[in-house]
Chain A
């Protein structure tokens, strides 16, 4: 059915957007490298493919006059989620252009910022691309060569978003969220079904973190460093008042 397909595609786009943001955060830091630039490039291209696919699908569905009112409301909700995703993507792409330009990899006088992050981001990229392992095959000048592509892609995305706003008449204020406040604390089911199994939400936090500054005891009884599986619903909505 159209709806399920839509949701799956949206989930995929959502996942890739999240991974892309994670990668852009590492730009310019000591986690930055040739590989990261290639990961960015490929994640970005994947995001664009998904974006175009989502847009085509949703516009076809929305154009269809014969759908029921509930269906239409649902598609409008999905449309709003899609545009939000695109918003994040556009900003992240622009930022990655800016930071990428400011931190070229091969110039010896330009140093990366020593942020404490030193690990590789290949697992994140692998998640985005839905592969087991990443294979790197880019040229050594990818950090500069890719920027031109990036610029044209940004223009493309901006144009697409403009078109979207002009052509599709969806009133965002009319959309009501399905999830109520605090919903993220309940089960970990996503909108669709593309999630990787979630583990270890209640992990030990390092001593230096604010957990101590706030006077709360370090969360979770388990000893340091060991991940524990907490089914999301266990702690529930204890003690929270959402007005």
Chain B
């Protein structure tokens, strides 16, 4: 009993689309007026009709589809490869010869089909029939497969033998010409569905086997790919440049590339490195401060950097921006259950007209945000947050880079900011090469007693 390849309840495989197209082509060739020109095949005393030459096939394809000879050869070749047309002279060579070699059409029952895959039972019956006809003279690989099947479906082997005999008896009822055609057809079918060893299996498309079961899924994926085509892409030369700049900039900061001072805690068991780099320390390390100048995001992400920045903003009377930004971050990353109340608070403190810490957002974004607040969710303040972020970045952060360090009055951190500024000044133009940075760093180090 073989496993039923068709699930109960009506779901069936579909015929692969390219096979359906080939079938249409074959049917078009049968047209009595516009179809293929057919001749008779003369065997010794039998005459079998409906043979055609390879050349005829190509001429017909050229006329019907207005293609060039090369393409017609390719198309015709596919028809032969997939078994819709089989060669009569050399049955094992499934290629289309554009000469006088004879071919014939395959009967619909034996058309290649993903819907009706060839079963082991059928193959066994075929081999048994061949065994009888050839009195045991099967080809080597056929004998091997025969033995294998005999083991595999041994429980139904008696049926195989019975059925093989009966099928032969049934075909004896036909006249000779038809019998010959039948044998050729069957042989062609099995050459495709169970190819001899070393011959590529046409039906195997490897890892990228398409799932044709669901037409709708295919249409959806077509739509997805079409949209993907329209997306903006960055040339690899450009993003590689950016990648290079980033690597240069961060090289000194990478503990693997540059080593970490004072020592790698994993190796030396000395946790000084970690203690020096905790989130809040009295004096941050030089490298850390240097990173603040790389980008605004670095500054904001570092708690101490943010603190510094806040102090600066308060002096400039624009601290509400940072408070707002922080509040938005809390909503984005915080608990779902608290979102509604947090958004309420933000509105009260930052967005409502006359609020204590009113932030300056452009009218369009403000309208959109106020609208969105009516149905608060995690990302409702994203637009406003982004606006404020860029405001801070352009106005405050960049000002900070240019600023003269004499304006800073923070005492215990003064020498830190002095470290920040020289580095920042250099960053303005281009990423420093590592060599230059190191040289000037040692210069600074000589001048100020820095930490780290």
Q: Chain A residues in contact with chain B, CB under 8 A?
A: 11, 14-15, 17-19, 21-22, 24-31, 77, 80-81, 83-85, 87-88, 91, 95, 98-99, 102-103, 110-119, 121, 123-124, 126-128, 158, 162, 172-179, 181-185, 188, 190-191, 195-196, 198-202, 206-210, 213-214, 216, 219, 224-225, 235, 237-243
Q: How far is the CA of A27 from the CA of B132 in the complex (A)?
A: 26
Judge if B163 is at the interface, Cβ distance under 8 Å.
yes
CB-nearest residue of chain B to A114: B50
Looking at the assembled complex, report how far the CB atom of B438 sits from the nearest CB atom of chain A, in whole angstroms. Answer: 76
7 of the cross-chain contacts (CB-CB < 8 Å) are A15-B166, A22-B167, A80-B159, A85-B159, A177-B154, A181-B157, A216-B137
Does B150 contact A81, Cβ atoms closer than 8 Å?
no
B residues near A119, Cβ cutoff 8 Å: 174-175, 177-178
Interface on B for A, CB 8 Å cutoff? 1-2, 4, 8, 26-27, 30-32, 35, 38, 41, 43-46, 48-51, 88-92, 104-110, 115-116, 119, 121-122, 128, 131-137, 139, 143, 146-147, 150, 154-159, 161-178, 180-185, 187
Residues of chain B lying within 8 A (CB to CB) of residue A126: 173
* Chain B residues near A110 (CB-CB < 8 A): 27
Contact of B178 with A84 in the complex, beta carbons under 8 Å = no
Does the CB pair A191–B163 fall under 8 Å? no
Q: Which of B45, B122, B167 has the most CB of A within 10 A?
A: B167
Is the pair A84, B161 in contact by a Cβ cutoff of 8 Å? no
- Name the B residues within 8 Å of A116 (CB-CB): 41, 48-51, 104-105, 177, 181
Q: Is the beta-carbon distance between A102 and B166 smaller than 8 angstroms?
A: no
Are B105 and A14 in touch, CB under 8 angstroms? no
CB <8 Å contact, B90 and A213:
yes
A210 to B184, CA, bound (A): 9
Residues on the A chain within 8 Å of B46, using CB: 206, 225
Cross-interface CB contact of A209 among B119, B136, B164, B183, cutoff 8 Å: B183
Contacts of A175 in B (CB 8 A): 155-156
Given contacts A111-B35, A114-B38, A207-B44, are A213 and B92 in contact (CB under 8 A)?
Answer: yes
| Chain A residues, CB < 8 A from B135 | 185, 201-202, 219, 235
- Once bound together, how far apart are the Cα atoms of A171 and B154, in whole Å? 13
Residue of A nearest to B143 (CB): A240
Give complex CA distance A116, B135 in Å: 27
B48 touching A111, Cβ below 8 Å: no
On chain A, the residues within 8 Å of B136 by CB distance are 182, 185, 235, 237-240
Name the B residues within 8 Å of A15 (CB-CB). 166, 169-170
Instruction: For the complex formed, measure the closest distance between the CB of A184 and the CB atoms of chain B, giving whole angstroms.
Output: 5
Q: A18-B166, A182-B136, A206-B180 in contact; A177/B131 too (CB < 8 A)?
A: no
Identify the closest chain B residue to A10 (Cβ): B162
CA distance A216 to B43 in the complex (A): 18
Closest 5 A-B residue pairs measured CB to CB?
A: A18-B166, A177-B157, A28-B108, A111-B30, A123-B173
B185 touches which one: A112, A115, A182, A206 (CB < 8 A)? A115
Q: Evaluate contact between B178 and A200: CB separation under 8 angstroms.
A: no
Q: Taking the nearest CB of chain B, how far is it from the CB of A198, in angstroms?
A: 7
B147 contact from A80, A181, A201, A225, Cβ within 8 A: A181
Asked if A88 and B163 make an inter-chain contact with CB atoms under 8 angstroms apart, the answer reads yes
Assess whether A198 is in contact with B109, with CB atoms less than 8 Å apart. Answer: no
Residues of the A chain whose Cβ atoms lie less than 8 Å from the Cβ of B150: 181, 242
B147 touches A243 (CB 8 A): yes
Give the chain B neighbours of A31 by CB distance below 8 A: 178
Tell me the bound Cα distance from A65 to B90 in angstroms: 58
Contacts of B169 in A (CB 8 A): 15, 18, 127, 195-196, 198
Set B27, B162, B171: member contacting A22, Cβ < 8 A? B171
Question: Among the listed B92, B165, B176, which residue makes an inter-chain contact with A188, where contact means beta carbons less than 8 Å apart?
Answer: B165
Check B177 against A114 for contact (C-beta < 8 Å): no
Beta-carbon contact of A26 and B107 below 8 Å: yes
Residue of B nearest to A191 (CB): B162
Q: Is the CB of B159 within 8 A of A115?
A: no
* Given contact pairs A111-B30, A210-B92, A99 touches B49 in the complex (Cβ within 8 A): no
Q: Using Cβ atoms and an 8 Å threshold, which residues of chain B touch A225?
A: 44-46, 176
